[in-house]
Amino acid sequence: MDTPGTLRTRVGKYELGRQLGEGTFAKVKFAKNIETGLSVAIKILDKQKIFKDKLVDQIKREISTLKLVKHPNVVQLYEIMASKSKIYFVLEYVPGGELFSRIATKGKLKENEARKYFQQLINAVDFCHSRGVYHRDLKPENLLLDGQNNLKVSDFGLSALPQHLRDDGLLYTTCGTPNYVAPEVIIHKGYDGAKADIWSCGVILFVLMAGYLPFDDSNLMNLYRKIHRANLRFPPWFSSGARKLINRILNPNPKLRISMSQIKQDSWFKKGYKLPFVEENSGTLEDVNAVFNEANEEHLISKVKEKRASRPAFLNAFELISLSKGLDLSGLFEEQTEVKEELHFTSKYPASEIISKIEETAKPLGFNVQKQDYKMRLQGTETGRKGPLSVATEVFEVAPSLYMVEVRKAAGDTLEYQHFYQNFAKGLKDIVWKNDIELENDHSSEVVPSLLSSQ
């Protein structure tokens, strides 16, 4: 039941909840289908910003791609809605976060686990290629994990479709993340989209097994030279089968690089391989242009604004369950060791004191604090690898005198966020709710905010 004095925003048949992420042109919010109870993620794009920055073609391309690619290892697009000012992507809710976060906190993966993710990645990318879709920005940050620990490819904003091929059947736009980009893409000549994606998959496999990049340098030109030479140095724990496959994938000559069908025939790859079940795609591209139709009406949104909060938003049982491991709430507030991009801890302190403590902790760490009701934005003052680090926090009421605090990376580098959270958590330990066992052990161990796993 909603807290008195608040209104829930509803878009079509979806009731919007907490914010999951934020970018330059879009926000992503958790939502619930009020007819079926299905959890979804809704990506909300601002049309004015899209037109201003001339991104209409890119958005149309992303919609077209998601409609063409229906695969168990690709984040699914359920539907598209639009008003006069906004576009809404209703997407599959993937609670496990980025694969990158797992590597950043745990380091390298065991070979069998890395192979499983690589198999799922190849299944997804090969299916995309069969539909004429080339991702062009494959990296661990764009690979998500669902509640069953299965990989989901996301972020098709830089993808290419058959109509983007020139008469020679090649692509010419240089795009992607430098460390994962194929050498032929860098030299500004025509390249085969499939071969370029395969190279990126090979880099990802190396990262999963090694815990670091095969080609890295702070100087971009030096990095490009390393990529062109493709002089691989394998850690000693790589098996001979993995080394052979990666060498065949990371061949700087795209004509000699292994193909998807050859990867699937490789003996190392085939170990424990499971062929995914793919449903027949009945989607059409007829409504791709409709989202930019000026005739779209605002009645799609039944409650646009929330009243100013006199107390934190109440987190209902459905939203609480969506944050936990399935439907088992027994481990809801157990301490976790993995630092994810979205973290939670609980406190029995008054909400106003929690807000004050967060502000008091963040400022000495070099963050400016912006507050609105029980939401806070911590904005880093230093420019990091991917711009200033920005952290969003919000206080939710779980039960009388029990609050849950969400801490989420809004912008910036994931590794820098990991470092921030370790220091941030130490400053908040006094307000964190502890169970009886933790209280008994409190004198001998340092207690930091318990993390609520979103897997």
Region 226-238: what's the mean pLDDT?
93
**Residue given tokens 């299944």 in the structure block:** 123
* 131-146 confidence digits (pLDDT tens): 888 887 888 888 999 8
pLDDT score of 95 more than 90: no
Distances (CA, A) of 256 to 252, 259, 262: 8, 9, 12
pLDDT score of 309 more than 50: yes
pLDDT score of 409 more than 50: yes
Distances (CA, A) of 379 to 180, 420, 449: 29, 12, 21
First CA to last CA distance, the chain: 25
**Residue given tokens 């605090």 in the structure block:** 405
Topology given in CATH for the domain delimited by 99-270: Transferase(Phosphotransferase); domain 1 (1.10.510)
Mean pLDDT of the chain: 78
**Residue given tokens 């201003």 in the structure block:** 52
Distances (CA, A) of 153 to 74, 137, 139, 289: 5, 10, 9, 24
Give the residue from 260, 251, 242, 214 showing the smallest Cα distance to 122. 260
Residue 371's pLDDT is 81
For the chain, the structural domain boundaries read 10-93, 99-270, 313-441
Region 301-322: what's the mean pLDDT?
58
Give the HSE-up count for residue 226: Cα atoms under 13 Å, Cβ half-sphere.
18
Region 306-327: what's the mean pLDDT?
57
Residue 295's pLDDT is 54
pLDDT score of 237 more than 90: yes
Q: 137 or 279, which is more confident?
A: 137
Given a contact cutoff of 8 angstroms between Cβ atoms, the answer to whether 374 and 350 are in contact is no
Q: At what angle do helices 111-130 and 193-210 cross, to 10 degrees?
A: 170
Residue 201's pLDDT is 96
Residue 444's pLDDT is 43
Residues paired with 173 in a beta bridge: none
Residue 281's pLDDT is 61
Binding site residue list: 43
Residue 306's pLDDT is 45
Active site residue 413: no
Q: Looking at domain 10-93, which of 3.30.200.20, 1.10.3720.10, 3.40.30.10, 1.10.10.10 is its CATH number? A: 3.30.200.20
DSSP 3-state of 90: strand
* Whole-number percent of the chain with pLDDT over 90: 22
Whether 99-270 shares its CATH topology with 313-441 is answered no
Helix (H) or strand (E) holding 344: strand 342-347
Which residues contact residue 28 at a Cβ distance below 8 angstroms, ignoring those fewer than 6 apart?
A: 19, 20, 21, 22, 41, 42, 43, 44
Task: Measure CA 81 to chain center.
Answer: 22
Assign 268 a pLDDT band (cuts: 50, 70, 90).
Answer: very high
Residue 82's pLDDT is 85
Region 65-72: what's the mean pLDDT?
83
Assign 1 a pLDDT band (cuts: 50, 70, 90).
Answer: very low
Which residues contact residue 65 at a Cβ distance below 8 angstroms, ignoring those fewer than 6 apart?
A: 128, 133, 156, 159, 161
Q: Which of 2, 46, 126, 137 is catalytic?
A: 137
Region 436-443: what's the mean pLDDT?
46
Assign 280 a pLDDT band (cuts: 50, 70, 90).
Answer: low
Q: 292 or 276, which is more confident?
A: 276
Topology given in CATH for the domain delimited by 313-441: TATA-Binding Protein (3.30.310)
Q: What number of residues does the chain have? A: 455
Binding site residue list for ATP: 43
Give the residue from 153, 134, 131 showing the smallest Cα distance to 142. 153
* 15-52 confidence digits (pLDDT tens): 888 887 776 677 888 898 888 888 899 988 888 888 88
Backbone angles phi, psi at 85, to 5 degrees: -115, -15
Picking from 67-76, 177-186, 213-222, 382-391, which range would have the lowest pLDDT averaged per residue? 382-391
Given a contact cutoff of 8 angstroms between Cβ atoms, the answer to whether 406 and 454 are in contact is no
Residue 83's pLDDT is 83
Instruction: Give CA–CA dist 287/115, Å, rounded.
Output: 38
Residues paired with 395 in a beta bridge: 405
Instruction: Give CA–CA dist 305/209, Å, rounded.
Output: 47
Report yes or no on whether pTM surpasses 0.95. Answer: no
